[in-house]
């Protein structure tokens, strides 16, 4: 599964109501000429980009079960030309590949739901559908080529301030990776509050991945650092969701790394739209 410094999984303590399907179409991208090294410092690199168009959906299967899918239907990895600053001659030709990314399929179970608190756990499978070696030099990737299993538990708390609703959510997860990649601990905390009741929601997230470093020593990838073994990061992101009409809205987000290891540095962005489909609407 891809290690993106952006939340690709919108699991929270709350399940999706039965008969409701939430769909979000997201364009996520990063372009950067820096990366975090193995000792956490920032070094330069040739400008590299990853652009992913994805669909995220969650559907309420029952009172307690929610099905989830993250589907990166189009992913483009690209690096710039490298030219001599002295003669302008081409040293390394720019390159790009277009492919699908690694999808994530999962299911979530609502363990507890009270007026304020919600606790759920989920199991997710990262499928190696992305390309692990592409382009002329074979260094471009849209996936890491390994099948992984992520188990994650979320605890949420909702609150109200006058007419505004808000929530807090924290999670921790264990990601079991295959093909010699190190397993990972996922963690995060976020808070959201409605700036305009039922219309404008702002979210602030801090989340990260820590590698357990228990992978095989011979896993040496030639690919880009979006998919390196033993990558780790701590990220800060904010997101604004604006509900244009009942069940349809726009979403804009930005994220940056507070620290990292073997991962591209820089700011990443996402824009998208979302909509909710109720069972009654489908019947109509």
Partner 1 sequence: MSHRTIWGFVFLFSLAACIQDDFLDDSVLEELRINTSPDTFSIGQTYQFTARYTNRIGEVEDRALVWNSSATDILTITNTGLATPIAEGISTISVSTTITNGEVLTVEQITIVQADSVPFELMRREGQIRTTSSYVLEGDFTVQEEDDNLIVDIKSNYRASSSLPGLYIYLTNNPNSIANAYEVGRVDVFNGAHIYQIPGIRLNDYDYLLYYCKPFNVKVGDGQFNN
Q: What is the 3-state secondary structure (H, E, C) of 147-188?
A: CEEEEEEEEEEEEEECCEEEEEEEEEEEEECCCCCCCEEEEE
Q: Which is nearer to partner 1, 87 or 114 (CB)?
A: 87
Closest residue by Cα to residue 2 from 28, 21, 38, 24: 28
Nearer to partner 1, 16 or 53 (CB): 53
What residues numbered 136-175 form the site for partner 1, per CB under 8 A? 137, 139
Q: Which of 225, 198, 201, 197 is nearest to 211 (CA)?
A: 225
In angstroms, give the least distance from the CB of 213 to partner 1: 10
d(CA 164, CA 161): 5
**CB nearer partner 1, residue 104 or residue 262:** 262
Complex with partner 1: residue 20 or 165, whichever CB lies closer: 20
**φ, ψ at 278 (rounded to 5°):** -95, 155
# residues contacting partner 1 (CB under 8 A): 55
The residue from 4, 7, 11, 49 that contacts partner 1 (CB under 8 A) is: 49
**Is 53 one of the binding residues for partner 1 (CB under 8 A)?**
yes
- Site membership for partner 1, residue 176 (CB under 8 A): no
Of residues 208-227, those binding partner 1 (CB under 8 A):
217, 220-225
If binding is defined by CB under 8 A, does position 37 make contact with partner 1? yes
- Give the residue, chosen from 44, 112, 116, 195, that forms a contact with partner 1 under the rule CB under 8 A: 44
Non-local (6+) Cβ contacts of 283 within 8 A are none
Q: Is 46 in the site for partner 1 (CB under 8 A)?
A: yes
Q: Does 47 bind partner 1 (CB under 8 A)?
A: yes
CA distance 102 to 131: 8
Range 245-264, binding partner 1 (CB under 8 A): 248, 262
How many angstroms separate the Cα of 196 from the Cα of each of 71, 160, 164, 193, 271?
30, 13, 7, 9, 20
CB 276 within 8 A of CB 244: no
Question: Which DSSP string do the residues of 183-236 spell out, in sequence order?
Answer: PEEEEEEEEEEEEETTTEEEEEEEEEEEE---S-TT----S-TTS-TT-EEEEE
Residue number with CB closer to partner 1 (14 or 22): 22
CB of 49 to partner 1, least distance (A): 6
* Cβ pair 5, 55 in contact under 8 A: no
**136/199 with CB nearer partner 1:** 136
Among 140, 224, 127, 219, residue whose Cα is nearest residue 181: 219
Site string for partner 1, 76-105 (x = CB under 8 A): x-xxxxxxxxxxxx-xx-xxx---------
Give residues in contact with partner 1 (CB under 8 A): 25, 27, 29, 33, 35, 37-39, 41-49, 51, 53, 74, 76, 78-89, 91-92, 94-96, 137, 139, 217, 220-225, 228-230, 248, 262, 271, 273, 275
């Amino acid at each position: 599964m891809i290690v993106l410094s952006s939340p690709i999984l919108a699991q929270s303590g709350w399940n999706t109501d039965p008969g409701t399907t939430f769909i979000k179409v997201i364009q996520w991208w990063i372009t950067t000429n820096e990366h975090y090294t193995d000792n956490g410092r920032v070094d330069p690199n040739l400008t590299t980009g990853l652009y992913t168009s994805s669909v995220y959906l969650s559907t309420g299967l029952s009172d307690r079960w929610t099905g989830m899918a993250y589907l990166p239907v189009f992913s483009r990895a690209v690096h710039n030309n490298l030219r001599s600053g002295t003669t302008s001659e081409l040293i390394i030709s720019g390159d790009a590949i277009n492919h699908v990314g690694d999808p994530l399929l999962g299911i979530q179970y609502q363990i507890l739901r009270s007026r304020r608190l919600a606790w759920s756990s989920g199991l997710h499978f990262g499928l190696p559908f992305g390309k692990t070696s592409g382009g002329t030099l074979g260094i471009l990737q849209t996936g890491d080529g390994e099948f992984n299993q992520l188990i994650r538990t979320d605890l949420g708390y909702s609150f109200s301030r006058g007419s505004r609703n808000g929530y807090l959510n924290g999670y921790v997860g264990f990601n079991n990776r295959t093909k010699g990649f190190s397993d990972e601990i996922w963690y995060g905390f976020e808070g959201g509050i409605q700036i305009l009741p039922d219309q404008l929601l702002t979210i602030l997230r801090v989340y990260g991945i820590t590698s357990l470093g228990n992978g095989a020593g011979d896993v040496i990838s030639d690919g880009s650092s979006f998919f390196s073994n033993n990558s780790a990061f701590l990220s800060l992101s904010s997101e604004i969701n604006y509900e244009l009409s009942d069940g349809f809205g726009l979403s804009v987000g930005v994220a940056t790394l507070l620290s990292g290891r073997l991962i591209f540095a820089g700011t990443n962005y996402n824009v998208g739209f979302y909509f909710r489909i109720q069972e009654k609407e489908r019947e109509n």
